[in-house]
Homo-oligomer: A and B are copies of this chain.
Amino acid sequence: MIFGSDNMAPVHPDVMAAMTRANAGYTTSYGTDAIMAQVTAQIRDVFEAPEASVYLVATGTAANSLALSVYTQPWQAVFCHERAHLAVDECGAPEFFTNGAKLIGLAGEDGKIAPETLLAHVSGFHKGDVHQVELGSLSITNVTEAGSIYSLEETRALTSIARDHGMASHLDGARFANAMVALGCSAADMTWKSGIDVVSFGGTKNGLMGVEAVVLFDPQKAWEFEMRRKRAGHLFSKHRFLSAQMQAYLTDDLWIRLATQANAAAARLENELSGIDGFQTLYTRAANLMYCGWPRAGHARAKAAGAYYYDEPIAHPANGSADEFLTARLVCNWSTTDAEINRFAGLVRG
């Protein structure tokens, strides 16, 4: 009954096997391995982007911060949701990698930036005003940190505003596959066809050991990215083991199958809990992540039995005071079982 995070889950066996296979004999290092060449081809194929530049790093923080750093000057602003992972959970990494760019967190319902909110904020910046920071980039997260998803229309509305104001658009796809499965669209639809310039294509939360691809649709940024990656200590000497993970991930649609499982588990979990007296979701669950609340007694029973998840003192809906009602973030993953879900729901129900 572990719903703490998808990064607490194990690595998929196919991925472990691929790493073991990659361990045969010598290979050239620092990203020149033969597997990486295949990964680049796979990702270009998946994204229908034959010119895209593809780089692997081992953490989401590195992926996001490096991606932003090639699109945001130190004296520019990054617009993101006020609860964006990169704004509140990365210890200032974007500021470190960009040498001090300013993150501007926007409020927004359901964990999403509304286009009119973005427009209102960027309109407050005056071109040629040396006293303000400049407009730099937009970063959205899909699946959002609230568990909701941006529709393709919503993404396009935002990236269109960004583009009109000279800003690049970054997609934090830590749960890219989960969003894509929920949207029922293609990887290209979710990204460059919707105006995204660079994407952090996450694997770690979806069955890999620790690999995120950064896909740059404009190859002109490639070399700068390479220099920044090396300089930040994120170029691996035994790179083949990153390549092997990503190769396995993209083979036989493993990434899509795992995300489908995780999303389905969360839907089942929501379904089981939703009938419980006092249960309430806080945002629109769309993928494998859900914010919700229920009476404190149900929390006590679940935790006593070993359930693990984060309490989230974010909001106290109308039907209960803070003393009686407690919210939680529940995350499912590819390995979540029906048995776990059933047992957990039973404990919450009491």
Q: Which residues of A contact B (CB under 8 A)?
A: 2, 4-5, 7-11, 16, 19-20, 23-30, 57-63, 65-66, 73-75, 88-93, 95-103, 130-134, 204-205, 209-210, 224, 226-238, 241, 308
Cβ-defined contact, A75 with B92, below 8 A: yes
B16 touches A93 (CB 8 A): no
Q: Is the CB of A102 within 8 A of B93?
A: no
When C-beta atoms are compared, the residue in chain B nearest to A8 turns out to be B26
Contact present for A99 and B100 (CB under 8 Å)? yes
Q: Which of B8, B24, B224 contacts A27 (CB 8 A)?
A: B8
Measured CA separation A58–B61 after assembly (Å): 14
Residues of B within 8 A of A10 (CB): 23-26
Copies in the complex: 4
What chain B residues lie within 8 Å of A209 (beta carbons)? 19, 238, 241
A158 CA / B166 CA spacing, docked (Å): 38
Is the beta-carbon distance between A233 and B230 smaller than 8 angstroms? no
Q: A290 to chain B: closest CB distance in Å? A: 18
A226 neighbours in B (Cβ, 8 Å): 130
23 contacts between A and B (CB under 8 A): A4-B26, A8-B27, A8-B29, A11-B23, A16-B23, A30-B130, A30-B131, A59-B234, A59-B236, A59-B237, A62-B233, A63-B233, A74-B95, A75-B227, A75-B231, A91-B131, A96-B99, A100-B100, A130-B230, A134-B227, A204-B238, A233-B234, A234-B234
Within 8 Å by CB of A231, from B9, B74, B233, lies B74
Of B89, B131, B229, the contact of A132 (CB 8 Å cutoff): B89
Given A7-B29, A92-B101, 11 further pairs, Cβ under 8 A: A2-B26, A4-B28, A8-B29, A10-B26, A11-B238, A66-B233, A74-B95, A75-B92, A75-B230, A95-B100, A97-B233
